Amino acid sequence: MKKIRFTKMHGAGNDFVLVDDRDGSFPERGSLIAALAADHTGISCEGVILLRRSERADFRMTFYNPDGTEAELCGNGARCAAAFAKRVGAVKSGSMTFETGAGLVDAEIVDEGLVKVWMPEPRNRQYGMTAPGAGGVSVAGDYLVVGVPHFIVPVGNVAKVDVATEGRALRLSSAFAPNGTNVDFVQFIPPNKAILRTYERGVEAESGACGTGAVSTAVAGVEAHGMSLPMHVRSSQGYDLVIEGDYRQSQGTGFTLTGPVRLVFEGEIDLDLLDARNGFDLFDIAVTHVRGDHVHRQRQVMLDVQRCADRAFNLRRHVCLLSLQAVSVGNRACVLRNVLGREARVQRGFSGQHDGNADDLIGIVLRGFLDRLGNLAELLHAELGRIVGDERKRRTVLRAGCADGGDRHREQHRQRKKHGQELLGMISHEIHSFS
């Protein structure tokens, strides 16, 4: 039995499970973390944070989304990690530096229950861009990365926004492929206030608060929407976050995030009792209650199937995004054909002669492109089917206890996956070449 101590905390309504893993004993598996974070069968949280040793800072913060994927940084999670580190004795003073996936972060415990962190410098700013949202409608906003990517959408009344529908459409939009983005709906209140609701990548729903989203809101607000520092951003849970920084030569720098941190409760959990089936939506797994080695083999099979399900989902998501790009390319091609057709008609009007070579050439190019794209899509669809079939066979072999057979199916799966990735690359090359 693997029992661990944990602490549940929240930062401005953003809740996390924190584990002191300085001894490195926590079993780092995405399916286990997803089970730990699950709403009804786990502890329930918007992120799992492991506190680990670091060779170049006071400690390392490893952050996981509730779906089990690792993220570079979480602003409110970083503030909770700082308070947790002081609580468990990982740091002696209220000032500290810790390692994250986005680099080193400085933090300070300002007061009891109030923590400030210095955020990574904003980058990849794209103000005033548009992206296809729900129903294909173009949505204007501001894109930037503050540790993790955010798309800021200014709105008149944030309370009326359908965050689940609009947020998910933008989070999966082809404009942010292949990794997607967090989506922040913001109501600016001049001169220095804002109300924020965030559809969070990895949570795949509206989150209680978002620290990196609040900082991204402040950066875009000051640089593109006439707001001023310090900015006060209110989360959907009603907590206020304060973002400070320097604004020079039309650009901000040195941004900090300050807000409340609260201890919710502490406890102990047996990881072996967690329902590791959370998130298994592609396969119907029959669970037999047996003892000893069979239990271990059964768990391993379930984890293998989960990994296959994750890979299949990612491949299908890439296909969907590439399909959207193909539709966009097709639309542009139709527009191009119409424009060239008008030009040809104008030229015929001047010369009094008809030359169909231009129209014929465009038709040939379009037909060739669509034929190639269709053939590749059919090949990829078939390959996905074979991947799922191979994994089902491997599951059966593993249940029967035949390790060699499992290895053979694993090698087949690797070959299938490689072929699928090659097909994805060919489809992407076709689309971008035509663009």
Close Cβ partners of 281 (under 8 Å, ≥ 6 residues apart):
309
Answer whether 150's CB lies under 8 Å from 182's CB: yes
Q: Higher-confidence residue: 294 or 186?
A: 186
Nearest alpha carbon to residue 184 among 213, 204, 219, 224: 213
Phi then psi for residue 145, to 5 deg, are: -120, 120
Side-chain-side CA neighbours of 156 within 13 Å: the count stands at 0
Determine the pLDDT at residue 161: 95
| Position with higher pLDDT, 357 vs 141 | 141
| Assigned token pair, 34 | 């997803």
Region for residue 180 given its phi and psi (left: phi exceeds 0; alpha: psi -120 to 50; beta: otherwise): left
- For the record, the structure tokens of 197 come out as 């609701």
- pLDDT band of residue 380 (cuts 50, 70, 90) is low
Peptide bond before 122: cis, by omega within 30 degrees of 0? no
pTM score, two decimals?
A: 0.63
What whole-number distance in Å separates Cα of residue 77 and Cα of residue 55? 21
* Mean pLDDT of the chain, nearest integer: 79
- Rounded distance between C-alpha atoms, residue 373 and residue 325, angstroms: 11
Q: Which residue has the tokens 């990849």?
A: 124
- Closest by CA to 182, choosing from 240, 141, 136, is 141
The answer to whether 106 and 79 have CB atoms below 8 angstroms apart is no
Percent over 70 (pLDDT), the chain: 63
Structure tokens at 309: 């399900």
| Cβ-contact 34, 278 below 8 angstroms | yes
Q: Which domains does the chain have, with CATH numbers?
A: 3-117+265-269 (3.10.310.10), 123-255 (3.10.310.10), 293-434 (1.20.120)
Select the more confidently predicted residue: 226 or 375: 226
| Other C-beta atoms lying within 10 Å of the C-beta of residue 198 | 29
CA–CA separation, 242 vs 262, rounded Å? Answer: 16
Stretch 272-278: mean pLDDT, rounded? 62
Among 379, 410, 378, smallest CA distance to 394 is for: 410
Residue 428 contacts by C-beta under 8 Å, 6 or more apart in sequence? Answer: 322, 325
What are the Cα distances from residue 409, in Å, to 299, 380, 386? 18, 19, 11
As a whole number of angstroms, the distance between CA 404 and CA 297 comes to 14
Average of pLDDT values for 270-286?
50
pLDDT at position 297 over 90: no
Residue 418 corresponds to which amino acid?
A: K
Distance CA 232, CA 218 (A): 8
Q: pLDDT for 231-249, tens place per residue?
A: 999 998 899 999 999 987 7
Min mean pLDDT across 26-30, 147-151, 321-325 is at 321-325
Run of H or E residues at 266 = strand 251-270
- DSSP class of 158: G
Least confident of 148-152, 187-191, 420-424: 420-424
Which residues have a catalytic role annotated?
74, 210
Does residue 137 surpass a pLDDT of 70? yes
How far apart are alpha carbons 300 and 181 in whole angstroms? Answer: 32
Name 178's Cβ contacts closer than 8 Å, sequence gap at least 6: 317, 318, 321
pLDDT of residue 29: 80
pLDDT tens column, 326-349 = 555 555 555 555 555 555 554 545
Q: State pLDDT tens for residues 36-92.
A: 999 888 999 999 999 999 999 999 999 999 988 899 999 999 999 999 999 999 999
CA distance 74 to 104: 13
Better-predicted residue by pLDDT, 173 or 364: 173
Residue position matching structure tokens 């663009």: 435
